[in-house]
Amino acid sequence: MRRCPPTNGAATARVEEAQTEARDVYALVYDADRPELFMKDAHMLRTVGPGGPIRVRSDSSWMVPEPELALVLGEGGEPVAVTIGNDVSSRDIEGTNPLYLPQAKIFAGACALGPALAVPDDWDAPFPIRLRILDSDGSELFAGETSNRAHEAQPARASPGGSCATTLSRPAPCCSRHRLVPPDDYTLRPGHTVEIEIEGIGVLSNTVAE
C-alpha cells in the first residue's frame, strides 16, 4: 500500500494527470483511512522476476515504472522480509477515469519483483531507492533517488493507494507507496531498461518487451 501526503510528488502528479473532475477523488484518497487496493497479480501470471520482460499497453500513450519497496507478508499477515517492486502503470488510462485503475495497473508484465529477499535489522530505517531508465543503446534517459520505510507498506499501519493481498494462503508481497516518477514527457517504450536499486536488496533490472 502507499501512503502519500498531498505535497508528495507522486500524489501531486496523480491529481494533475486526472483529465476530469475526478481529480477530487484522487486528492481525497491520499488522506483516507480506508486503503485503496488493487491486486497486481494472481498465481504469478502477470509478474516477472529479475531480467524478465515487463510490458506496456498498446492502447496507452503514457506508461511509467513505479519503483517501490515491497513488503513480504507471511500467511498470518505479519511482515517477514522486503524486496524490490516495479509497479508498471498507465498514467493516461488512470487519469481518464478513476474506474479505469484496474486497466492501468493490471496487465501482462505489469509487475516485476526481486532480486532477493532481505530481513531488515531495523524495520523503521529508511531504504534508499535509486531508479535508472536506459535506452536500448545504453544511454541514460532518467535517473533519480528517493527513500521509503518498510512499515509504510504494512496494511495495518499504511494507507492508501497500493497493491496487497487481502487473504493470504501463502507469503505475498505488498508494494508500498512510490515517491519517484519520471518527468511528464517520458513514457516507457520497447527496448527501455528499468533498473531499481535498493541498498541491502540489490538491483532489479527489467527490459520492456517488443
Confidence (pLDDT) at 19: 57
Dihedral sign, Cα of residue 60, residue 182, residue 46, residue 27? negative
Confidence (pLDDT) at 5: 35
Note if the pTM is more than 0.95.
no
Find residue 203's DSSP bridge partners.
197
Q: Which of 168, 26, 41, 206 is nearest to 98 (CA)?
A: 26
Confidence (pLDDT) at 18: 57
Give me the residue spans of the domains in the chain: 9-207
Confidence (pLDDT) at 12: 59
Distance of alpha carbon 40 from alpha carbon 45, whole angstroms? 10
Distance of alpha carbon 185 from alpha carbon 16, whole angstroms? 14
Instruction: Enter the C-alpha cell of residue 67.
Output: 519503483
Instruction: Enter the C-alpha cell of residue 197.
Output: 536499486
Q: What are phi and psi of 73, to 5 degrees?
A: -100, 140
Given the C-alpha cell 480506508, which residue does it identify? 34
Given the C-alpha cell 510490458, which residue does it identify? 55
Confidence (pLDDT) at 159: 36
Confidence (pLDDT) at 34: 72
- Identify whether 65 is preceded by a cis peptide bond (ω within 30 of 0): no
List, for the chain, all residue ranges whose pLDDT scores fall below the cut of 70.
1-23, 30, 35, 42, 151-170, 177-178
Confidence (pLDDT) at 7: 38
What is the per-residue burial (b if ≥16 Cβ within 10 Å, else e) of 129-147? bbbbbbeeeeeebbebebe
Confidence (pLDDT) at 156: 44
Confidence (pLDDT) at 1: 30
**Reduced to 3 states, what is the DSSP secondary structure of residue 131?**
strand
Task: Specify the DSSP element, H or E, that contains 91.
Answer: helix 91-96
Residue type for 53, please? P
Span 9-207 CATH architecture: Alpha-Beta Complex (3.90)
Confidence (pLDDT) at 157: 42
Distance of alpha carbon 89 from alpha carbon 106, whole angstroms? 8
Q: Please check whether residue 150 is in contact with residue 191, taking contact to mean a CB–CB distance below 8 angstroms.
A: no
